[in-house]
Amino acid sequence: MSLHSETDQNWSQVIGSKNSLYSLNLKEVWRYKDLVYMLVKRDFLTSFKQTILGPLWFFINPIFTTIMYVIVFGNIANLSTDGAPKIPFYLSGVILWNYFSSCLNGTSNVFRGNASIFGKVYFPRLVMPLSIVISNLMQFAVQFALLISFVVYYSIEGNIQPNLWILITPFLIVLMAAFAMGMGMIFSAMTTKYKDLSMLLSFGVSLYMYVTPVVYPTSMLPEKYRWIGEINPLTGIFECFKYAYLGVGDFSIGMLLYSTIFISIVLIIGTIIFNKVEKSFMDTV
C-alpha cells in the first residue's frame, strides 16, 4: 500500500463540497452538537449582558405588549376575541409571534452576521440557524409558562375550556420554527448579494403580523377578505393554538394540514438555496 493511500485512510474527517443541494447532513450536524450548545449559551448570555433585570425581560416584554394590545385593540378598537378573556387571548398571540419573528429575523442574518466566523473555521453552516431556533425556544418556554398560569386561572374561573388539542403543541412549535427557519434561510441567502432585502424584511415582518391572527380571530374577517387569512400558513397554527388553550377560534384540521404542507415546501426550498449559497457566499458578502 502506498504512503498516500495509507495517509488518506487515517483522516478522521474529510471536508469536501456537498454532492446534493437537498442534503441537510444531519449526521454531521449532530457531531457538532456541542457547538450548538455553546452558541445557544452565548446568545442567552449576550442578550442580557450589562442589563439590570436580566432574564426578567422574558416576562416584561410579553406582559407590557399584552397590556398595550388589551387597551388598544381590546378596549379602544373593540376587536372581537371570540368570547375568550382578553389577557390570555392576546398573550397567546404575542408569545407565538415573538417566537416566530425572533427566529425569522435571527436566521435571516446568518450569513452576514457570521461572515467572520465562516471565513475562518469549518463547521456545518446549518448549525447557526438551528442554534437560533433553539435559543429562541428558551425564551418561548418562559413566556409559555406565563400563559399557562393565566390559562389555569381562567379555567378555574370557568371562563375558558382547554381541550385535548393542547397535546399537539410541540408539533405547532416545530411547524413555526420550520417556517421561520425556511424563510430565514431564503432571505439569508439573498441578502448576501442584495443587502436592501434585510431592511425590507424588517418592514415586511411588521406588516405580516397584521395578516396573521395575533390580535384578532379569523372569524371577524369579512367574507371577501377571508382568503387572505386562509392562504397564510401561520393562520392554522395560531387558530389551533388558541382553540386548544382557550377553546375558541375558527379552526379546522384542513387548515393545519395546509400549513404543514406549505411549510414543508418552504423548508425544502430554503434548504436548497441555503446549501447552494453557502459554497460561495464569502465571495459576495
Tens of pLDDT, residues 114-148: 666 666 666 667 778 888 888 888 889 989 999 99
Round to whole Å and give the CA distance between 64 and 69: 9
Prediction pTM value: 0.84
- 65-97 pLDDT per residue, tens: 999 999 999 999 988 898 899 999 999 999 999
SS (H, E, C) 103-128: HHHHHCCHHHHCHHHHCCCCCCCCHH
Residue 203 has pLDDT above 90, yes or no: no
Other Cβ atoms less than 10 A from the Cβ of 266: the count is 19
DSSP 73: I
Q: Tell me how many degrees the CA angle 161-163-169 measures, rounded to the nearest 5.
A: 120
Instruction: Give the Å distances, CA to CA, from 111 to 39, 105, 116, 128, 225.
Output: 15, 12, 9, 9, 37
